[in-house]
Amino acid sequence: MEKNTIINQIVDIEWIMFDKVNNIGGRASCQDEKQTFYIMRSSQLGAWNEALLGSYLEDLQQAKAEGRNPLSEKYGYMMERTSPAEFAAIRSQLPARVPEKDALIDQICAQQTDWQEQLAERFPKLTGRGRSIRRAEDTPVNTSFETYMWGELATYSMRTIQIYADYVEEVRKEGKSIPEMVLLNTVKQYGFDSLDAAEARMR
């Protein structure tokens, strides 16, 4: 299956699930911004290889068959760091985590967070409007890049996490950066040819 076809299938499923997420404070405004959702998610997924995309699509299809909503679960897992008291109340509703998978998730997050910090140094204007980077900056109203990724990865299957970890190592050895690939995909969707061009236009 063509890479873009897999990406579109994934984002179509994710959008339906995202639309059904019930937030503590009510429906979030971003749940009504379908175009932005598609740009952000397709930009991220576009930085993955076919093996990772295929495995994650299987995760979503399996969750759908089981009546689960991984996007809701993602926000639930994040609350362990951002809102511990509220997390305690919903913990039993979330799939139990596995230590072996958590170790791989921590490994992935460590590398991705390092990459994100390097990207922020090079493109401070482009990244400055995004999330804070480290989990130390988490609050009930601020979820860091690190914690957001950690929560999302917690919803993936062990199979997908292993493929992800292998891919991260492959990208690292090539001297590349997944967050940089994601950001480049994003600015291209907004009409820029490069990160330098987009950075120059930011105020």
CB 57 within 8 A of CB 9: yes
pLDDT one-digit tens code per residue, 77-92: 999 999 999 999 999 9
Residues 6+ positions from 110 with CB-CB distance below 8 Å:
none
CB 144 within 8 A of CB 134: yes
* CA–CA distance, 64 with 58 (Å, rounded to integer): 10
pLDDT one-digit tens code per residue, 155-197: 999 999 999 999 999 999 999 999 999 999 999 999 999 999 9
| 27 has a pLDDT exceeding 60 | no
pLDDT the model gives residue 141: 85
pLDDT the model gives residue 26: 58
Structural domain for 184, as ranges? 3-201
Average pLDDT on 20-49 reads 83
Instruction: State the CB neighbour count (10 A cutoff) for residue 5.
Output: 10
pTM equals 0.92
pLDDT the model gives residue 179: 98
Q: What are phi and psi of 175, to 5 degrees?
A: 75, 25
| The total number of structural domains that make up the chain | 1
